[in-house]
């Protein structure tokens, strides 16, 4: 199946699955949870499905893992948009959760999505050992050693006396953005209890390329297309890959990372071509 079609189907199926899992709940928090997963690219879920396919994982387990990562990602965006964090009014072209409802509802919806993520992860895996590993690694990717730690470093950088160096930004983004992408890419071998090394390299390289592409979009992107405010990094005087490498240098670095990511998939041969297409999409996307 062509990459774009597979990505669209994954995004739709995952969003529907999450909504179905919450359909028995009523009220603002449940409504906000369902709203928060609408309109996403579904890229992390896509990586889960593709890595699961490469390792012959039962699609039911893959679905659980895909829903887990999309719930966790959605929670992070809901909280990231709050006034105490990035204070954004738009997400995916729609009002952010705290703007559509209120801050308390946004916090609780994010909390509930995070809890649902671990509930889903606990059902993803061919054996009990694999399911425990899925939950453990998701917690590690999401916590202080991963996404949360990276977000904390990003917030601290906004008031630091000196801009971050390139190496510091790479380390920050490996947690903030890269950790969940790498988790998604290695979900297949983790569920199958196979060697994750090739897909871990792919995920690590791709996660960094993804963030560089985000920095480029903040400079070149259109808010209506991107679905959120652009130009915020430059306005805040924030050090980014673009500010440190220049626009052309950032694009070159992203392209190099994508090629390295694709090279890591050589062990899978042509079976990984869709993942190679996904890597190229990451640095050429408009949103």
SS3 per-residue string spanning 35-91: HHCCCCCCHHHHHHHHHHHHCCCCHHHHHHHHHHHHHHHHHHHHHHCCCCCCCCCEE
Q: Residue 241 is part of a domain; what is its CATH number?
A: 1.10.600.10
- What total of structural domains would you count in the chain? 1
Q: Is the pLDDT of residue 237 over 90?
A: no
pLDDT-based confidence at 87, cuts 50/70/90?
very high
Kindly report, residue by residue over 154-198, the tens digit of the pLDDT: 999 888 888 899 999 999 999 999 999 999 999 999 999 999 999
**pLDDT given at position 236:** 62
Domain of 78 in residue numbering reads as 3-284
Q: Which residues contact 192 (CB under 8 A, 6 or more apart)?
A: 52, 55, 56, 57, 126, 130
Q: How far apart are CA 276 and CA 287, in angstroms?
A: 19
More confident residue, 19 or 286: 19
Model pTM score: 0.92
Q: Which residues contact 37 (CB under 8 A, 6 or more apart)?
A: 14, 15, 18, 19, 70, 71, 74, 113
Residue 283: half-sphere exposure toward Cβ, Cα within 13 Å: 24
Q: Is the pLDDT of residue 228 over 90?
A: no
Q: How far apart are CA 278 and CA 283, in angstroms?
A: 9
């Amino acid at each position: 199946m062509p990459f774009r079609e597979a990505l669209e189907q994954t995004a739709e199926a995952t969003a529907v699955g999450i909504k179905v899992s919450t359909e028995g709940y009523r009220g603002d928090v449940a409504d906000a949870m369902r709203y928060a997963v609408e309109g996403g690219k579904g890229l992390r879920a896509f990586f889960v499905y593709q890595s699961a396919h490469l390792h012959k994982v039962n699609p039911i387990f893959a679905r659980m893992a895909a829903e887990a990562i999309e719930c966790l990602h959605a929670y992070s965006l809901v909280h990231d948009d709050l006034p105490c964090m990035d204070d954004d009014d738009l997400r995916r072209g729609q009002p952010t959760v705290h703007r559509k409802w209120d801050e308390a509802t946004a916090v609780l919806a994010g909390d509930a999505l995070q809890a649902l993520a671990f509930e889903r992860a606990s059902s993803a895996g061919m054996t009990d050992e694999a399911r425990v590993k899925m939950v453990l690694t998701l917690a590690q990717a999401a916590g202080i050693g991963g996404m949360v730690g990276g977000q904390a470093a990003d917030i601290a950088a906004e008031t630091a006396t000196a801009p971050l160096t390139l190496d510091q930004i790479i380390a920050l983004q490996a947690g903030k953005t890269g950790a969940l992408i790498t988790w998604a890419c290695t979900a297949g071998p983790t569920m199958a209890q196979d060697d994750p090394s090739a897909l871990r390299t792919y995920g690590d390289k791709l996660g960094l390329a993804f963030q560089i592409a985000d920095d480029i979009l903040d400079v070149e992107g259109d808010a209506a297309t991107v679905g959120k405010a652009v130009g915020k990094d430059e306005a805040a005087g924030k050090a980014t890959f673009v500010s440190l490498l220049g626009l052309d240098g950032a694009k070159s670095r992203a392209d190099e990372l994508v090629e390295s990511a694709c090279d890591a998939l050589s062990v899978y041969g042509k079976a990984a071509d869709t993942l190679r297409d996904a890597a190229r999409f990451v640095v050429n996307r408009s949103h």
